[in-house]
Structure 1
Amino acid sequence: MQFRKDINALRAVAVIAVVLFHFNPAWMPGGFAGVDVFFVISGFLMTGIVFRGLATGHLSVLQFYRARANRIIPALAILCITVLIVGWFFISPLDYKKLGLHIVSSLTFWSNFTYWYESGYFADAAQNKWLLHSWSLSVEWQFYLLYPLVLAAFSRIFSIEQLKKLVVYTLIIGFVINLVMTFLWPDAAYYLLPARAWEMLFGALAYLYPLKLSNKQKVLCQRSGLILILVACFLVSENSFWPGYWALLPVLGTWMVIQSDRPNSRVMGHVVLQKLGNWSYSIYLWHWPLVVAGFYYSLDKSFIISGILLSVLLGFISYHLIEQNQLFHQRANKKIFMERTSPDCNHSPTLNKFNFVKWNPFYNTVLLLSVTLLISGAVIINNGFINLAPIEYQRLIDNAKPSPYREKCHLTHYQEPAKSCEYFGRNIQWAVLGDSHSTEIAYALAEKLKTDNIGIKHLTFTQCKPSYGVSYDFDKCARWYNEAIEYIIQQKDIQHVVLNHRFTRALFGGSAYRYPVVGELTQNAQTQFMLAQLTELIQTIAAVKQNVYVYYPIPELPRSIQNLIGHKLLQGAPLNNVTGTSLDWYHKRNHFMIDYFKNADFPTNVHLINTQDTFCDKATCYAVKNGEALYFDDDHPSVIGARKLVALIE
C-alpha cells in the first residue's frame, strides 16, 4: 500500500474540524464529525493490514497489537504526564483526583465507558474533563483488539471472499444497531463501540471493494465526498440525531474521497494539509486540554486564536520528538514503509533507512505506560492530595453533598407513586413533588418535621417537566407525574404539598454554562400551555389541601461548586463567600418564571417562596455563603442549602 496524500489530507480536514468546533462551536457547529472521518480512515488502513496478512498467511495478531501500542501510547502518555505535572500546581485537589481517574481510564482505553457513565444529568460540564477527547481513541483501540482477532478466527472457516462478505453484513447490522441506540440510548450511542463500529467497517468496505473509476469520475467522487464532509461540519449541530443517520454524511464523504484515489490533486496535496495531516494525532491530543484550560481559568475569547496556534505548535513538537522517536519505533536495516492509522498514528510519509536498534521499543512503551499509571494511581489513592489543602477547603468540599436518600428515593424510571419513599415520622402529612431539585428539600423538610413524628412522602423524578393534564407521551415522567398528583389528592392525611422544579430549564431551556451571557429565552405555544397547566395544577391541589408551597427558581451556578471553590483556593482568596452569579443575571435568566409567579392569582393557601432570599444578597447569588456550601454540583442544592430553603417555609 503506497502512501496516500489524499488520506493524509483527510486527517488534516478532520482535525481542523474538531479543533475549530471545540474552541468555538459557532465557527463549525458540526465539527465533531471530524472524529467520524478518523474512524473511517482507521477502518480502511487496519483492514488493509489485516487482510494483507491473511492473504499472505503472515498475520500476527500480537505484532498487530504491539504496533498499535507503539504508535498510540507514547504521545498519549506524555500528554498525561504533562497534565499531571501542570495540574499539581494549577488544579484543585478534587479536580486533580478526577484527572487521575480519567488518565487511568484513558491509558487503559476504557475512557469511552467512563465518560458514558459520567454523561448523565449530574455530569460535570465537558470543559471540566481534561481528557474527554480520549474516548475516541478508546473506541478505536477496542476495535483494534477485536477486529483482527475475529477475522483471524473466522479465516480458519471462511475464505477471503467470504470474509469480505462477512464484513459487509456486519456493517449493515452495525448501522442498524447505531440507529436503535441513538434513538433509545443517545449517550451510549455516542461513546460506545457497538454504535460506532459500522463507521470503521465503512472504511473496510473502501479497501475490500475499491471502485474502478475514470479520471472524471474520480474528480467528481472526491469533490462530492469533501462536500458531504463539509455539509456535516457546517449544517449538523450538537442537537442533531447523532451518530444516527446524520453520521452517514461524513462517513459516506470519507468513503468517497478514499475511493476516488486522487493523492496528487491540487487541494489534497497542498503542503499545509500534508503537514497538518502528519501532525494530526498530536494536534488532536493537545488541543482539548488547552480548550479545558481556557474554560477552567476563565480566559477570555482572545485565547481562542492563541489556543489553536498553540495546539498546532505542540502537535508539531509531539510529532517530531515523540511519534518519530526511535525509543518507540523498531527500525531495522531495511526500507520500511510506516503505515498510519488515524487519529492515533501519524508517521513520516517517506521511506527511511536506519541502522538496526538492539532494544525493543515495545518495552519502552510499556515502561512509560506503567510509570504514568503508577503516578495516576497515587493521585487517586491520596484523593488528589486533598490532605495538603487548607482545612476550610476540605470542610466545604465535605459539606457540598446531596441527600443520603437520593439514590434510594429519587426516581430515574417509573414506579407507582404509592411505593415512593416515606420518612422520617409515621404520620405522613407532607408531600414533596418535583424533579431532582426537590430531593434535598424533601430530606431537609423531613429532618425538620422528625421531632414531631410527622413524615413526608418523597415524590421526585429525574429531569421531570411539570406535566399535569398532558398525554403520557408528552414527557418521560408524564404518566408518573399525573399519577403522583392523583395520589396526593386522594391521601387525606397529606395536607401540605411542596412543589419545586428547575422551572426555567424545563420550560425554556438553557443553563448557566455561558455565564454571564443569558442566551435567548422565548415563549411559544408549548411553554404557554405548560404554564397554564402549572396554574391548574397549583389551583387543583390548593382546593383540597391546607397549604401549597411553591419555590421560585433556584439560582444556577456557571460551573460546579467544587470547581468554584477550587478556583478560590488556587487564587489564595478567602473561601467564606464564593460567588455564583450576579443577582441581575439570575433575574434575567429566570424572568419568565419570576413574572409568572408575580402575576399569578393563586388562592391564599398557596405560598410562593423566593429562593433569592437565602441564596443571594442585593447584588450576588452565592455558591458558598457565610462559610456554608449551598450546592453539591452546579444547580442542585446541597443538604445545607436545602435546609435554608426549608427554613423559608412558615
Structure 2
Amino acid sequence: MKFRKDINGLRAIAVIAVVLFHFNPNLIPGGFAGVDVFFVISGYLMTSIIFRGIEQKNFSISKFYIARVNRIIPALGVLCLTLLVFGWFYLIPTDYKVLAKHAATSTSFLSNIIYWTESGYFDSSSHEKWLLHTWSLSVEWQFYIIYPAALVLLSRVLSVTALKNCIIHLTLVGFIFCIYATFTWPNMSYYLFPTRAWEMMFGGLAYLFSLNNMSEKQKRNIGVIGNCLIITSCVFITQDVPWPGYMAIVPVLGAFLVIQAQNSNSFISQNIFIQKIGSWSYSIYLWHWPIVVGLAYFSIYNIYTVFAGITLTILLGYLSYKYIERINFITTFHKPMDLVKSKPLHIAFFTCVLSSSIYITNGISGHYDENVLIADRESSNKNPFKCMVENKFPCYIGNKENIKAIIIGDSHADALTTSLASVFNLNKEGIIALTKSACPYIINALSTKSGNECFIENQKREAFLLNNYENIPVIWAARTGVYIYGQSNKKRINNKLDTQPSIFFKEKYNIPNEDFFIELEENLNETISKLRKKHPIYIVQPTPEMRRNIPKAIAKNYLLKNKSTEFAIDESLYLQRNTKIRNLLNKIAYTNDAVILDPAKILCSDNKCIAEIQNRPIYFDGDHLSEFGNKLLTPMFLTIVKESK
C-alpha cells in the first residue's frame, strides 16, 4: 500500500493529544480521544489489507497475523522487560508483583480485561499502573484476531457488495451498543473490545467507500473539517463526559473525514516534524505513560519535569522506532511452524515467563530488605473473616449461639470488626458484622452503585436488626467524610485535587452545604432512633485518614533509602475534615442516648495522628486500619463488654 502522509500526520495528531493529556490534562482536557483516532486508523489499514486480499483471492490470515506480530510485539516486549528490570531496583514487592501481572497480560494482549476488573481509567490509582496504556493495544489485537477471520468466513457466503453492507450495519449496531453500554456499564465500555470495535470498523468504511473523485478544494475542505472535529473533541471534551458514548463520534468522524480527504499537500502532510512524530507514534505511545507514572512515583511532578518527560518520550520513541520497530524479525514464512520460531513470539514468551515468575514469588520478595517486607506486608493484613469480601450476610464471628455485639457499616466498620471481636472470648461468645464497602447504614440513603445497591442492603439490615438479637449492642461505624467531601488524599498528579464529593442521598451537591447536613442529620437520626428502640447503640467517630497509602510509603522509603520521613498527619487536618461530622454524630448520640466511641483519642496525641508504630504501618492503605492497627482500639470497645453481660 502506498505510504499516506496524511494518515501519518493523523497518527502524529493522535499521539500528541494523548501524550499532552497524560502529562497534564489541563493542557488538552480531551486528549484521550487520540486513542479513538488511532482505532479509526487501524480499522482503515486493516480493512484495506484484508479486502484487497479477498478481492485478489490471495489473502493469507497467517501472513496477516505475522505482520501484526512483527509490528507490535518487539517494541512492546522491550518496554515490558525494561520496566521489569527497573522494578527490581525501585518498586516495592506489591507494586513489582502488580507490574509483573500487567506485563504478562500486556504481552498476551489481555490487559484491557484486567484493567477493566481493577478500576476506572481516570481513577487516581491509574497513575500507579505502569502499563495501563497497553489496554488499547489489547483491544486492537483482539480486533486483528477476530476481524479478518470473520471477513474471510463471510466472504465465502456473501458478495463483496453484500459484505460491505454488512460492515455498515455492524458498525451502526456497534455504535448503538456502545452508547447503551457506556451509560450502563461505564468501566467495561471504556476497556473492552465490543464497545470499541465500531470505531475500527468506521475506519474500515473510509476504505470501502472512499471518495476518490473530489477536487483539491473539496479535499482541503473535508480535511479541515475533520481536523477541526478532532481538535474540538480534544479541547472541549473532558473526563466528565461518559466515554466512549455518543460523543465519541466526534473524533471518529473527524479521523474518517481526514482519511477520506487524502490530502497529501496540507501543512500536516508536508511538515517534517509532524511526519517524524507520526512515524515514531507507536513507540512514543509505548514510552510516554511509564514516564508519566515515573514522575508521579518519585514525586517530581512539576512544569520542568513535564517538559523533560515529553522530550524524553520523543527521544525514546525515536530510538525504539529506529532500532526495534524497523527490524524485520520474521524474514521468511513458508509453513505454520515457522511462526513458532519467530523472535517476536520468543520475546513475548520470555516476558510472560519472567513476569509469571515475579508474580508467583510476590515480586521475588527474597531480594528485599526485611524492613521493606514488613511495611509492604501490612497492605494485605486485613480482616481475615472476609465478611465484606465474600458478601456474607450476616457474618458470624466466634460462637454464633452467644452473640454479644453487632457492628454495622461500610469498609471502615469492616476494618474495625476484629478489634471489636478481640474483647470477647470467641470460643464462648460471638459477634455479627453487617458490613459492605461504600454502604454506611443510613436509612433513605440512595446509592452510587448500580441498582441502588446500598439502599437495598440497608433495607435488609434494618429488617435484620429490628427482628433479631434484641438488646444486643449495635456499633455504628462509617467513613462519613468521604460521602460528604470525597477522597481525603488531596495530593494528586498534575496538582489536581480530588475533592469531588461522593454523595448519594436525594440530591448531589458539588459543594456540601447546610441543606445537605440537615438531610444527613435527619436520615441518620431516624436510623439511630429506630435502632435504639431495640438495641443499645454505640457510634464510632471517624478514623483519622492519612491521605496516602502508608504501607507503600514506608516500604518505598526503606527501599529508596530516603531520610527519615514524617508519616503522621497533623491533628488539625483530621479536625478540619471531621469537626462538623463529629459534632453531628455527638448531637445524634445525645438525642438518642447512644454512646460515642472515639478512635482519635487513641490514635491522636500531641497534635499528631499516628500512621505507624516503630516503622510498622497501622493502616493497610491510607484510611483503613490494618489488623495490627485496629488492635490499638481494643480498649475503646471494652465498655461494650459490660453492656453485653
State the distance in 2 between where 1:228 and 1:615 align. Answer: 55
The one-letter amino acid of 2:210's match is P
Rate the CA distance shift 1:517–1:582 in 2: closer, same or farther, 3 A.
farther
Following TM superposition, by how much is the alpha carbon of 1:142 offset from its aligned partner in structure 2, in angstroms?
A: 0.8
Aligned to 1:503: 480
Rate the CA distance shift 1:60–1:547 in 2: closer, same or farther, 3 A.
same
Aligned to 1:643: 631
Which secondary structure does the structure 2 equivalent of 1:633 belong to?
coil
Which secondary structure does the structure 2 equivalent of 1:80 belong to?
helix
The one-letter amino acid of 1:431's match is I
Aligned to 2:16: 16
Following TM superposition, by how much is the alpha carbon of 1:374 offset from its aligned partner in structure 2, in angstroms?
A: 3.2
Q: Please point out which of 542, 561, 565 is paired with 2:554.
A: 565
The one-letter amino acid of 1:269's match is Q
Following TM superposition, by how much is the alpha carbon of 1:383 offset from its aligned partner in structure 2, in angstroms?
A: 2.1
Tell me, yes or no, if structure 1 residue 234 matches structure 2 residue 235.
yes
Following TM superposition, by how much is the alpha carbon of 1:67 offset from its aligned partner in structure 2, in angstroms?
A: 0.5
**1:126-158: CA deviation from partner (whole Å, max 9, x where unpaired):** 111111111110110111011111111111111
- Whether contact under 8 Å (2:540, 2:599) holds in the other structure is no
Rate the CA distance shift 1:454–1:381 in 2: closer, same or farther, 3 A.
closer
Aligned length: 614
Aligned to 1:537: 527
Q: Please point out which of 383, 404, 410 is paired with 1:403.
A: 383
State the distance in 2 between where 1:566 and 1:628 align. Answer: 9
- Whether contact under 8 Å (2:115, 2:135) holds in the other structure is yes
Aligned to 2:403: 428
Q: Please point out which of 458, 479, 483 is paired with 2:456.
A: 479
The one-letter amino acid of 1:293's match is G
- Whether contact under 8 Å (2:612, 2:618) holds in the other structure is yes
State the distance in 1 between where 2:409 and 2:96 align. Answer: 34
Following TM superposition, by how much is the alpha carbon of 1:304 offset from its aligned partner in structure 2, in angstroms?
A: 1.4
**1:29-61: CA deviation from partner (whole Å, max 9, x where unpaired):** 221111111111111110001111111011110
Rate the CA distance shift 1:498–1:628 in 2: closer, same or farther, 3 A.
farther
Which secondary structure does the structure 2 equivalent of 1:6 belong to?
helix
State the distance in 2 between where 1:594 and 1:517 align. Answer: 28
Aligned to 1:469: 444
Aligned to 1:319: 321
Following TM superposition, by how much is the alpha carbon of 1:72 offset from its aligned partner in structure 2, in angstroms?
A: 0.5
Rate the CA distance shift 1:14–1:82 in 2: closer, same or farther, 3 A.
same
Rate the CA distance shift 1:545–1:610 in 2: closer, same or farther, 3 A.
same
Following TM superposition, by how much is the alpha carbon of 1:287 offset from its aligned partner in structure 2, in angstroms?
A: 0.8
TM-score by length of 1: 0.87
TM-score by length of 2: 0.87
Following TM superposition, by how much is the alpha carbon of 1:307 offset from its aligned partner in structure 2, in angstroms?
A: 0.9
Which secondary structure does the structure 2 equivalent of 1:448 belong to?
coil
The one-letter amino acid of 1:491's match is N
Aligned to 1:349: none
State the distance in 2 between where 1:616 and 1:281 align. Answer: 51
- Whether contact under 8 Å (1:469, 1:482) holds in the other structure is no
Following TM superposition, by how much is the alpha carbon of 1:470 offset from its aligned partner in structure 2, in angstroms?
A: 4.9
- Whether contact under 8 Å (2:283, 2:316) holds in the other structure is yes
Aligned to 1:437: 412
State the distance in 2 between where 1:376 and 1:582 align. Answer: 40
- Whether contact under 8 Å (1:430, 1:494) holds in the other structure is no
Aligned to 2:643: none
State the distance in 2 between where 1:270 and 1:379 align. Answer: 45
- Whether contact under 8 Å (1:70, 1:362) holds in the other structure is no
Aligned to 2:435: 460
Greater displacement, 302-311 / 386-395: 386-395
Tell me, yes or no, if structure 1 residue 490 matches structure 2 residue 467.
yes
Aligned to 2:221: 220
Flag structure 2 segments of 5+ consecutive residues without an equivalent: 502-510, 640-645
Alignment of structure 1 residues 554-633 onto 2, 5 Å:
554-558=544-548, 560-572=549-561, 579=567, 581-590=569-578, 592-594=580-582, 596-597=584-585, 602-603=590-591, 605-633=593-621
Aligned to 1:356: none
Following TM superposition, by how much is the alpha carbon of 1:101 offset from its aligned partner in structure 2, in angstroms?
A: 1.5
State the distance in 1 between where 2:429 and 2:438 align. Answer: 28
Tell me, yes or no, if structure 1 residue 370 matches structure 2 residue 349.
yes
The one-letter amino acid of 2:454's match is C
Aligned to 1:547: 537
Aligned to 2:256: 255
Rate the CA distance shift 1:481–1:48 in 2: closer, same or farther, 3 A.
same
Following TM superposition, by how much is the alpha carbon of 1:386 offset from its aligned partner in structure 2, in angstroms?
A: 1.0
Following TM superposition, by how much is the alpha carbon of 1:118 offset from its aligned partner in structure 2, in angstroms?
A: 1.7
The one-letter amino acid of 2:189's match is A
Which secondary structure does the structure 2 equivalent of 1:238 belong to?
coil
- Whether contact under 8 Å (1:538, 1:548) holds in the other structure is no
Following TM superposition, by how much is the alpha carbon of 1:438 offset from its aligned partner in structure 2, in angstroms?
A: 1.6
Following TM superposition, by how much is the alpha carbon of 1:455 offset from its aligned partner in structure 2, in angstroms?
A: 2.5
Aligned to 1:381: 360
**1:104-131: CA deviation from partner (whole Å, max 9, x where unpaired):** 111111111111122279x981111111
- Whether contact under 8 Å (1:564, 1:578) holds in the other structure is no
**1:200-237: CA deviation from partner (whole Å, max 9, x where unpaired):** 11111111112354444433322222222222222222
Matched-pair identity in %: 36
Flag structure 1 segments of 5+ consecutive residues without an equivalent: 333-358
RMSD of equivalent CA atoms: 3.0
- Whether contact under 8 Å (1:70, 1:361) holds in the other structure is no
Greater displacement, 541-550 / 277-286: 541-550
State the distance in 2 between where 1:228 and 1:587 align. Answer: 48
Rate the CA distance shift 1:260–1:532 in 2: closer, same or farther, 3 A.
farther
